Amino acid sequence: MTAPVKALFEPFRLGSLELPTRVVMAPMTRSFSPGGVPNSKVIEYYRRRAAAGVGLIITEGTTVGHAAANGYPNVPRFYGEDALVGWKKVVDAVHAEGGKIVPQLWHVGNVRKLGTEPDASVPGYGPMEKLKDGNVVVHGMTQADIDAVIAAFAQAARDAQAIGMDGVEIHGAHGYLIDQFFWEGSNQRTDGYGGSLANRSRFAIELIQAVRAAVGPDFPIIFRFSQWKQQDYTARLVTSAEDLGAFLKPLSEAGVDIFHCSTRRFWEPEFDGSDLNLAGWTRQLTGKPTITVGSVGLDGEFLQFMVNTDKVAQPASLENLLERLNKQEFDLVAVGRALLVDADWAVKVRDGREQDILPFSRDALMSLN
């Protein structure tokens, strides 16, 4: 193992969380859990990554126990005895291989469409009501709705702790519910949850506080956020380091232990005048550990594969990534599509077998391997 690569395979410790490597499996929706229950294929999918050098697995998005949380067919849920029994089997399999695992807790918000499982009659929920042809397609959330969603996240975190998960990740990115409250374009409320960015952050802050209260002081909470949105890939929640610090500080104080900083390309600087990426700035501003992510290990970004295409993303150099990691710009590295297509990605990198890493194409999305 070369000296630069070694940093990727050193252990990481934060309180009760001890990881054997700095490699994190990024959360990726796979839609292979009919009825919302992870099955034997899902168990084996995660086990293989843990057995092959992934220090921390962040599961695909799992929906919390709220009627409007889900937006897609066959995604797993994190409520109900049957689903939790399935996740307990995943936990046990990952732990048996020496890995750690956290669920990503998810509510899609106004992305949900009428007709979506489990109850087709439930519309999307969001910061603001939306009508189409006189019908409510997005229900504007009342205080009671906000309280119910917060309670659902807290219960999911409590259940994660009970079945042996090693922490939780709260999905606050990519234009889903929590992010919809952050983003001025989707949150023009006139109550205490709207207006300034500080007010628009209130929902997330209260949610994080509730999760922290549910699991106690020592259970790790990861918070994933992004500047870009599914609805606008060029969106920027903040445009300066000063504003980023003001945004992150209350979230950090609410109980976040690790920030997962979602970018499309990890090597891109976040602000003019510095080479630091979003994870680098977040670590510097909060003092909390950070996870970087965004086209790690591949020469094509994921957006190219959101449509039908015959493009293939080839393995790419990790030199830039390793240089940043060795400078402690960030603490952990989340790998998405490269790990999705090649369960052995981490050990191949560790052993200098980059030539054996599999390329990524849309075909990889069609099955769990």
pLDDT tens, 4-48? 899 999 999 999 899 999 999 999 999 999 999 999 999 999 999
Tokens of 55: 């220090």
- Residue 145 forms part of a structural domain: yes
CATH of the domain at 57: 3.20.20.70
Average pLDDT over residues 135-140: 94
Condensed to tens digits (0 to 9), the pLDDT of residues 69-117 reads 999 999 999 999 999 999 999 999 999 999 999 999 999 999 999 999 9
Average pLDDT over residues 294-319: 72
- Residue 44 forms part of a structural domain: yes
Per-residue pLDDT band for 308 (boundaries 50, 70, 90) equals low
Asked if 72 is an active-site residue, the reply is no
Of the listed 45, 79, 176, 193, which one is catalytic?
176
Q: What is the pLDDT of residue 4?
A: 84
- Which pairs with CB-CB distance under 8 Å and at least 24 residues apart come from 230-236? 230/111, 230/174, 230/175, 231/175, 231/185, 231/186, 232/175, 232/185, 233/264, 233/303, 235/183, 235/185
The DSSP bridge partners found for residue 259 are 223, 290
Average pLDDT over residues 312-330: 91
CA distances from 222 to 193, 363, 364 (A): 22, 31, 27
Q: How far apart are the first and last CA of the chain?
A: 27
Read off the pTM: 0.96
- Residue 337 forms part of a structural domain: no
Per-residue pLDDT band for 312 (boundaries 50, 70, 90) equals confident
Range of the domain at 236: 15-290
Q: C-alpha 252: how far from its chain's center? A: 17
- Residue 224 forms part of a structural domain: yes
Question: What's the structural domain count of the chain?
Answer: 1
- Residue 316 forms part of a structural domain: no
- Residue 106 forms part of a structural domain: yes
Condensed to tens digits (0 to 9), the pLDDT of residues 244-297 reads 999 999 999 999 999 999 998 999 999 999 999 999 999 999 999 999 999 898
- Residue 330 forms part of a structural domain: no
For tokens 């997962």, name the residue: 260
Per-residue pLDDT band for 361 (boundaries 50, 70, 90) equals confident
Q: What is the pLDDT of residue 282?
A: 98
- Residue 343 forms part of a structural domain: no
